[in-house]
Amino acid sequence: MSEKPVAGTVPDEKEAAALEAAFDAHVAANGKVEPRDWMPEAYRKTLIRQISQHAHSEVIGMQPEGNWITRAPSLRRKAVLLAKVQDEAGHGLYLYAAAETLGVSRDEMEDALIEGRAKYSSIFNYPTLTWADIGAIGWLVDSAAIVNQLALCRCSYGPYARAMIRICKEESFHQRQGFEIMMALCNGSGEQKRMAQDAMDRWWWPVVMMFGPPDANSPNSAQSMKWRIKHKSNDELRQAFIDQTVPQAEKLGLAIPDPDLKWNEARGHYDIGEIDWEEFFNVVRGNGQCNEQRIERRRAARDEGLWVCDAALAYGEKQRARKRREAA
């Protein structure tokens, strides 16, 4: 993008309008934006909001699954779950690093989360009551995350798009491990099958809501789509997830807890019943079953881990001092 102005330019009003017009044309032509490029302040802020929210979701998302690491039903299941939870930490790291390229520090983002100024995905405020919930998260939540993130691989902001490509590859493994847990339960005893159905009954609607409010009530969508941060709307992604998941549920022999779910031949999509948006906004406002616990655990993990950061920084400084002495 040779004609792109660089960050740090302080333009006057006329220049600013020209820069913005050039920026809009660049992203409209599917051009990528890199950290040193000039960008509208609102674009930068929108990305910080979305990427940090995404990073927080990955990190908070470790808690519901972490809850079952010590209780996984076999050593194999335990090892796989441990690896998955570690992957989520890695995803958080890539995403925080992508957000840092926009001039915000990791400490600032973490403070915003812990002080309730930044959001994270509603889905992680539901409890994991049985082992089948681990299958449901992997199968349903990771499927939903992949549908959303595949579109984000084409996001106009380079560092975010590149992080998404790597994350999506790892999420497909997560989705398969979830489906495999559900398959084992559905082919098992009557009690196991009932456990799988119970997880399906509790997770289905929260996952459907996870794509965000309906397009008509999504204040950020229009601008984010214009800037090619988002390539598909919340409702388009929700529909894609439903269409791909219904046949998978049929294959497992699980019923979807929606009496109004039916194939619409004319639309070429499934129709679904009414979504309880009051529940969604209630959870987003902090009143879900686990919001308080999730943030409290995150705060404790940060506070208890501070000495590790201090020790790592002191060790790094000691190494640098030794190198300086050796070079002198």
Least Å distance between CB 299 and ligand FAQ?
A: 19
How many other C-beta atoms lie within 10 A of the C-beta of residue 240? 18
- CB closer to ligand FAQ, 175 vs 197: 175
Q: Which is nearer to ligand FAQ, 234 or 245 (CB)?
A: 234
Closest to ligand FAQ by CB, 163 or 210: 210
Q: What is the closest distance, in whole angstroms, from the C-beta atom of residue 241 to ligand FAQ in the complex?
A: 12
Residue among 4 and 60 whose Cβ is closer to ligand FAQ = 60
With respect to ligand FAQ, which residue has the nearer C-beta, 224 or 239? Answer: 224
CB of 152 to ligand FAQ, least distance (A): 6
Minimum Å distance from CB 121 to ligand FAQ? 4
> How far is it, in rounded angstroms, from Cα 119 to Cα 59?
12
Spatial separation of the C-alpha atoms in residues 239 and 250, rounded to whole Å: 17
As measured in angstroms, the least distance from the Cβ of 220 to ligand FAQ is 3
- Cβ closest to ligand FAQ, residue 133 vs residue 142: 142
Give the count of beta carbons closer than 10 Å to the beta carbon of residue 173.
15
Q: Which residue is nearest to ligand FAQ (CB)?
A: 61
Minimum CB–partner distance for residue 211 and ligand FAQ (Å): 6
Which one, 4 or 177, has the nearer CB to ligand FAQ? Answer: 177
Helices (H), the chain: 13-28, 41-60, 62-66, 75-100, 106-114, 131-136, 142-152, 158-186, 190-209, 221-226, 234-252, 277-282, 291-327
Residues present in the chain in total? 328
Q: Which is nearer to ligand FAQ, 145 or 242 (CB)?
A: 145
Burial class (CB in 10 A: 0-12, 13-18, 19+), 254: buried
Q: How far is the CB of 91 from ligand FAQ (least distance, A)?
A: 7
As a whole number of angstroms, the distance between CA 129 and CA 68 comes to 9
Residues interacting with ligand FAQ, by CB under 6 A? 49-50, 53-54, 57-58, 61, 88, 119, 121-122, 137, 141-142, 145, 148, 210-213, 218-221, 224, 234, 284
Q: Are 57 and 210 in contact (CB under 8 A)?
A: no
CA angle 24, 29, 30 (to 5 degrees): 100
The Cα–Cα gap between 226 and 230 comes to 8
Q: Report, in Å, the least distance between residue 194 CB and ligand FAQ.
A: 24
- CA–CA distance, 206 with 280 (Å, rounded to integer): 8
Torsion angle (degrees, nearest 10) of CA 5, 153, 49, 288 = 180
The whole-angstrom separation of Cα 309 and Cα 312 is 5
